[in-house]
Structure 1
Amino acid sequence: MRKLINYSYLLMLFSILVGCKEEFIVPTGGGSPTIEIVTKPNAAFFADSISYKVKVADQGVDLSTLKVELLYSEDVVASQTIRTKEYGEYQGKLFVPFLKNVANGTATLRFTVQNVELTKTEALADLPLTRPDFPFLNLIVEGKTYKMLRKAANQYEVSDNFATKVNGYIEAPAFGANGNAVQFGWDGEAITQGVTANIPFSNIIEGVYPISFNTMTYQASPFVAYKLNGEDMTMVAEDVYSIDMDMDKDQELVFEGLQGLDTWWVDSDFLRKDGDKFLFNAIKGRYRITADLKKKYFIVEAMNGSNLASLNADGTGAIWIIGEGIGKPSVASNEVGWNTDKALCLAPIGGKKYRVTVVAGTSIRANSINFKFFHQKGWGGEFKDADISTTSDIIFVGNGSNGRDPGNLGIVNGKQLEAGATYVLEVDLSQGNNKAVLTVNKQQ
C-alpha cells in the first residue's frame, strides 16, 4: 500500500512540473519591437490609395503582425494587417475612404508592430487630407452616360431631355495620381458612396430639366415629394411610397405630388371619391397607406402602433386574406396567391365586422377561388371550418372533404359569380372569433 501511495505522489509531482514547464514555454511581455516609417505620403486626397513602407525588428524575439490603421479624428476608417515572420521592410496600400460631410483636415496613420509575446510598439504619423475637386461627374442611366459639370465647389449638374423617372447612379472619376473612381448610389433610403444601386430621381413632368448632386453633402435633386395630408411618404421600393397615419371615418385624404389620380383604381373598402376628393371609408384607427405608382392604386392596411394589426382575442384588430383567385386591383395583375407578403387586409367597419369588396372576373375569379381568412399578415392563426360558417348559396367553406382544405373558400359546383358584378364579403366576429359568420352579397 505504501508503494502505491508513493508512486501516486511522484506521478502528481511530475504532472505539476510538466504543467509549470508548459506555462514557461510561451512567455508574454518580452522583447522590445521597433518600427521605423521608411516612406509614407506627405498628403493625400479622399479616395486615394496611399502607399507606405516600414521597417520592423526586435531584440531576438520573433515578430507576429504589423497593423496599419487610418483614423479620422479617433475613428478607424481603414486598416490592414500584415504577418511579419521576419525582421525587415514591409509595404502596402491603404484606401482613404470618401465620406459624406467630412471636411479637409489631418488624419492619423497608426502603425503597430506586435511580437509573439504580445509586446507592442506604435508609431504615429499625420496625413493631411483634401477633398478632390472633380472636374466633372458621370450620371450613368441604363448604360448611357451624362456628364455632370462642376457649377461650384462640390456642386455638379446636368440638363437633358429626361423622363419623369430617371434611375441611375453617379460616378466620380479617379482624381490625382493615386485616386480611385467613387460611385454614389441608393441604399434604400438615401444616397451613399461605394454602391451602384440606382438613385430614383423623379420630376413632375418629363422634358428638359437639371439633375444635380453635391459631393460634400450628398444632396441631390430632383425628387418629387409625395405627401399625404402634409406629411412625407417614404419610399419603400421603386415607385412604391408609404406612410403610417391615424385616420378617421369620412376624413379627407389630400395627396401631393401624385399625378393623374383620376385614373387610379380606388379600393372602395377603404377609400371613396366625392368629386375630386378622397374620403376614408373604414373605421377610425391607424393605417398604413401605400401608393403603388406603377399599378396606380393605394394599398391600405390596419395598424397596431408601428406594426401591422392582427386579430385580437376580443374580435377587434384585423383579418387578412391569403390564397388564390383574388387580388387588387385585379387578379390578372396582382393575385395574392400563397405569398403572405401580398396578403389583403379586410376593412374594419365596426361592430367586429370586416369587409372586402370584389368584382367578379376582375378582382376575384368568377368560377374558381381557393383562399382563406387569417388572423395576421402571414402564417399563424387562421379560420378553419370549425371557426367560420356561411349560408351563401354560391361560396362555400371547405372542410377537407368537399374539394377545399378546412376553412378555404370555394365556388359551389355548377355555379359561378356573375361576371362584372360587385360582391361584398363580410366576416362578422360579434359572436366570437371561433363563431365567425361569412355573408356574401351581390350589390344591386
Structure 2
Amino acid sequence: MKRLILNFLLGTAALAALYSCKKDEKYVYQIGEPKIELKSDVSSAHFGDSLVFKLHASDQEIALSTVKVQLFFTDDKVSETIIRTKENGEYSGKILIPFYKNIPNGKATLKFVLQNISQKTTEQAYEIELTRPDFPYLNLVTESKSYKMEKVGPNEYAATESFPFSVKGYIHAPKVGAQGNEMNFGWVNNAVDFGSITEIPFSNSTSGVYSIKFNTLTYAASPFIIAYAINGTVYSRIDDDHFKAELELKNGEKVTIDGIEDLKDWWIDPDYFTQKSDGTINFNGINGKYRVTADFKMKYFVVEAMDGANLATLKADGTGAIWIIGEGIGKPNIAANQVGWNTDKALCLVPIGNKKYQITVKAGESIHKDNINFKFFHQKNWGGEFGATTISTESDLIFIGTGTNGRDSGNLGIVAGKSLTVGESYILTVDLSQGNSKAVLTVVKK
C-alpha cells in the first residue's frame, strides 16, 4: 500500500512538472498565424447603439481561441465583447457604444483582437465616427400618465403643460436607427443619470403652465425650484418627503410658510406654534436657532432646538434642550409615529425660558392614556439622562420610575388605577431652575 501511495505521489509530481513545462513553453513559443477579415461596415454609430459586426477568423496552423472586440475613447477602453472562436469561419456579434454625458460627437477606435490557443494574437483597429442620437422626442413618464417632450434645440427637450407644482417621473428616449436602443434617465444620488427609472423630483414655485426640460448631452434638467420656505429661508431637500430649514426664530413672531398648497391640512405642533382662526401662525419658543423639518408624508413640522450648526444639548447651567425617547408618545400621533427607542425620532421639548421645557400631548392621540414608558434625555441620542435621583414629580397621574416600582430609573409611567382622559390635552413641564440634578416635572391638564 505504501508503495502504491508513493508511486501515485511521484506520478502526480511528474505530471505537474510536465504541465508546468508545457505551460511555460506555450507562453514562450507562440505559433500559428491568426487572421481577421472584417465583413461589416463599422465606420459610424450612435452613442447608445448596439453596433453589429461580422468578421471571418482563421488560422491555418493551430486552433483559434477568442476574438475580442474593444471600443476605446482615446486611450480608455469603454466597452468590450468577447466571442469564443472554436474553428475557422464567420462570426458576428454586438458591442455596446456607451451613452455618457458631456461626450460630444467625435472619433473613437474599434479594435479587433484574435487569439489562437497558443496565445498568439493579431489585431486590427478601425476609426469609428460616433454621434449623439437625434431623438425625435422624449417621454416624461409619471405614475399617472406620460408627457411628450418635444425637441426645442440641439439635445434639448421640453414638455409644456399645466403641471402641479411637484412632478415626479423618469425620462424615456425612443430607439433611434436600426442599431439603437431605448434609454431611460432617472434620479441617482440627487442628480439625473442614465439607466435609471427612479423618479426625478421636478418642482416649480407654483402649479400651472410651465416647462419641464432635459438635455440629453449634459443631463441638465429643470425646474428644481424648492418651492418651500419658512420666514424667507428656503427649505433644502433631504429626500422626497422631507425638507429642512435652519433659522433664527423669535418668541411671538409671525411665522410665514410658503409653497405648501395644502398647509390647511397639516398638523401644527401646539408646543412650538399657535395657529389663529385666520390661519396666522406665531412661534411659541424662546428666541434662538431651530431646525424646522417639513414632513410631507405625515404633514407636520418637526421643530428642534439648535446650538450653532448642531442640534442643542442640555448645558450645565440648565439651558439648551431636553429630549424624549421611549414608548407611548409620538408626534403627530402615536399610531403612525411612536418614538419608541429610536433616537432618530427623539422629541425636542420646546424651551419656554427660565430653564423650563415643555411638551403638550393629547391622550389617545399623541400619548397613550394608560401605558407610557419614556424618559427625558440631555441630547438626541444615548448619553446624559434624567434618572430617579435627578428628577421628581408630585403628579397624581404620572410617576417616575425608580427601578423597583414597575419602571426603570427615570422612566415615566401612569399611576396604577389612573388614566389620562382620552381627547384631553396635558402639558408636561420640566423645570431646571434649581439645577440639572433637581429637575421637577409637572403635569397639568390643559
- TM-score normalized with structure 1 length: 0.75
In the alignment of these two chains, the number of paired residues is 429
* Residue ranges of structure 2 left out of the alignment (5+ in a row): 1-9
The residue type equivalent to 2:23 in the other structure is: V
Q: SS of the residue aligned with 2:21?
A: helix
The question of whether the paired residues in 2 share the 8 Å contact of 1:355 and 1:426 is answered with yes
Match of 1:420 in 2: 424
CA distance in 1, matches of 2:309, 2:62: 60
Match of 1:192 in 2: 193
The question of whether the paired residues in 2 share the 8 Å contact of 1:395 and 1:440 is answered with no
Aligned ranges 1:4-153 → 2 under 5 Å: 21=18, 23-27=20-24, 28-31=27-30, 34=34, 36=36, 38=38, 39-56=40-57, 65-86=66-87, 88-113=89-114, 122-153=123-154
Q: SS of the residue aligned with 1:26?
A: helix
CA distance in 2, matches of 1:350, 1:116: 84
Which deviates more, 38-47 or 78-87?
78-87
Match of 2:243 in 1: 241
Aligned ranges 1:40-439 → 2 under 5 Å: 40-56=41-57, 65-86=66-87, 88-113=89-114, 122-187=123-188, 189-225=190-226, 226-227=228-229, 232-243=234-245, 245=246, 247=248, 256-259=258-261, 264-267=266-269, 281=285, 284=288, 288-301=291-304, 320-346=323-349, 355-361=357-363, 362-373=365-376, 381=383, 383=385, 385=387, 389-393=391-395, 394-399=397-402, 401-405=404-408, 407-417=410-420, 419-426=423-430, 428=432, 435=437, 437=439, 439=441
* Residue ranges of structure 1 left out of the alignment (5+ in a row): 1-12
The residue type equivalent to 1:327 in the other structure is: G
State the shift of 1:193 in Å. Answer: 2.1
The question of whether the paired residues in 2 share the 8 Å contact of 1:71 and 1:109 is answered with yes
Change (3 A) 1:437 1:101: same
The question of whether the paired residues in 1 share the 8 Å contact of 2:284 and 2:352 is answered with no
The question of whether the paired residues in 2 share the 8 Å contact of 1:224 and 1:257 is answered with no
The question of whether the paired residues in 1 share the 8 Å contact of 2:172 and 2:184 is answered with yes
The question of whether the paired residues in 2 share the 8 Å contact of 1:272 and 1:281 is answered with no
* RMSD over aligned Cα atoms: 4.6
CA distance in 2, matches of 1:248, 1:262: 22
State the shift of 1:277 in Å. Answer: 7.2
The residue type equivalent to 1:421 in the other structure is: S
CA distance in 2, matches of 1:312, 1:120: 74
The question of whether the paired residues in 1 share the 8 Å contact of 2:187 and 2:196 is answered with yes
The question of whether the paired residues in 1 share the 8 Å contact of 2:36 and 2:58 is answered with no
CA distance in 2, matches of 1:430, 1:36: 91
The residue type equivalent to 1:69 in the other structure is: Q
Change (3 A) 1:369 1:23: same
Which deviates more, 175-184 or 254-263?
254-263
CA distance in 2, matches of 1:159, 1:135: 16
State the shift of 1:132 in Å. Answer: 1.8
State the shift of 1:184 in Å. Answer: 1.9
CA distance in 2, matches of 1:388, 1:184: 57
